């Protein structure tokens, strides 16, 4: 690896870290405004959009790379605050987490916590955004393979994904589940039909 490439890689990693710091700051500010911790905010937002199969303490813990006891504490606090309830899940053992009416209202208020980042990205040309999404999904997939990221449901880590199957640079990949080319701009970060590639 040349010194120039190594320098570029280091600057990219530093830029991602800087972006992460900005996102963390926005998350802390948004959570604090609702009297929540950032982890509690993440749990509320996840429960507002997750399918029932993922609305359990252990699934949320895996999603956010925290221990089950840590997530259980966050969920207990949210329950005391009247933002969620627990009920027996389909198997009768695990507890299904459901936002209360108040919890759903808080989730709606929190939904725009990262709006400044979304607006900054929207100002970029679509092709730049699509290429960046593609690149980041590949990095996330690599990190999952190394055990750094635990839960990934992206196109690039799915068994239905065929990379570089088409000559069109705007839609080079193919989804074998949907049986169609995938534009870079349409790659998913959290696909409900995701099945992990071997």
Residues of the chain with confidence (pLDDT) below 50: none
Q: How many helices, marked H, and strands, marked E, lie in the chain?
A: 7, 5
User: Under the phi-then-psi rule, with left for phi > 0, alpha for psi from -120 to 50, and beta for the rest, what region is 161?
Assistant: beta
pTM surpassing 0.75? Answer: yes
Where do the domains of the chain lie, and which CATH numbers do they carry?
3-112 (1.10.10.10), 124-186 (no CATH)
For 123, other C-beta atoms within 10 Å of its C-beta total: 7
- The upper half-sphere exposure of residue 173, i.e. CA atoms within 13 Å in the direction of its Cβ, equals 24
Identify the pLDDT of residue 39.
96
How confident is the model at residue 134, as a pLDDT? Answer: 92
The pLDDT assigned to 51 comes to 86
Condensed to tens digits (0 to 9), the pLDDT of residues 54-79 reads: 899 999 999 898 999 999 999 999 99
Terminal CA-to-CA distance of the chain, rounded, Å?
Answer: 29
């Amino acid at each position: 690896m040349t010194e120039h490439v190594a320098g570029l890689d280091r600057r990219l990693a530093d830029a991602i870290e800087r972006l992460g710091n900005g996102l963390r700051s926005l998350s802390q500010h948004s959570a604090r405004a609702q009297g929540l911790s950032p982890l509690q905010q993440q749990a509320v937002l996840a429960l507002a959009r997750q399918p029932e199969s993922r609305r359990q303490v252990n699934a949320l813990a895996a999603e956010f790379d925290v221990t089950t006891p840590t997530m259980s504490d966050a969920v207990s606090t949210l329950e005391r605050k009247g933002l969620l309830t627990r009920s027996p899940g389909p198997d009768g053992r695990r507890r299904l987490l459901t936002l209360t009416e108040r919890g759903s209202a808080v989730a709606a208020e929190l939904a725009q916590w990262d709006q400044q980042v979304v607006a900054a990205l929207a100002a970029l040309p679509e092709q730049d955004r699509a290429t960046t999404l593609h690149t980041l999904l590949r990095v996330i997939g690599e990190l999952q393979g190394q055990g750094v990221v635990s839960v990934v449901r992206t196109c690039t880590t799915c068994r239905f994904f065929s990379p570089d199957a088409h000559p069109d640079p705007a839609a080079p990949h193919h989804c074998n589940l949907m049986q169609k080319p995938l534009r870079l701009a349409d790659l998913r970060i959290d696909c409900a039909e995701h099945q992990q590639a071997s």
